[in-house]
């Protein structure tokens, strides 16, 4: 997946409010490799859910900051 497509897909899964924990499906087609695990209202809950995963580098917490800018952790 090209970086541009991957960034577009991450933005697509970023919620307007709260925090989405998403995973990467390496076997999915190149435009649909991300999938929603769970939506959280609090960042700490999303971070804890990510830490509970076996391969943490295969998961992202997506959200918008107070300036409505996209973030991925």
Query: The domain containing residue 34 runs over which residues?
Result: 3-72
Task: Decide if pLDDT at 20 tops 90.
Answer: yes
- Per-residue pLDDT tens over the stretch 27-72: 877 778 899 999 999 999 999 999 999 999 999 999 998 888 888 8
Residue 71's φ and ψ, nearest 5 degrees, are: -135, 150
CB 65 within 8 A of CB 73: no
Domain count, the chain: 1
> Please, which pLDDT band fits residue 1 given cuts at 50, 70 and 90?
low
Distance CA(61)–CA(46), nearest Å, equals 7
pTM of the full predicted structure?
0.87
């Amino acid at each position: 997946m090209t970086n541009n497509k991957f960034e577009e897909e991450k933005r697509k899964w970023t919620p307007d409010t709260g925090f989405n924990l998403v995973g990467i499906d390496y076997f999915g087609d190149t435009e649909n490799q991300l999938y929603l695990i769970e939506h959280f209202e609090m960042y700490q809950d999303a971070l804890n859910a990510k830490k509970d995963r076996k391969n943490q580098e295969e998961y992202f917490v997506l959200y918008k900051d107070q300036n409505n800018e996209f973030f991925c952790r």
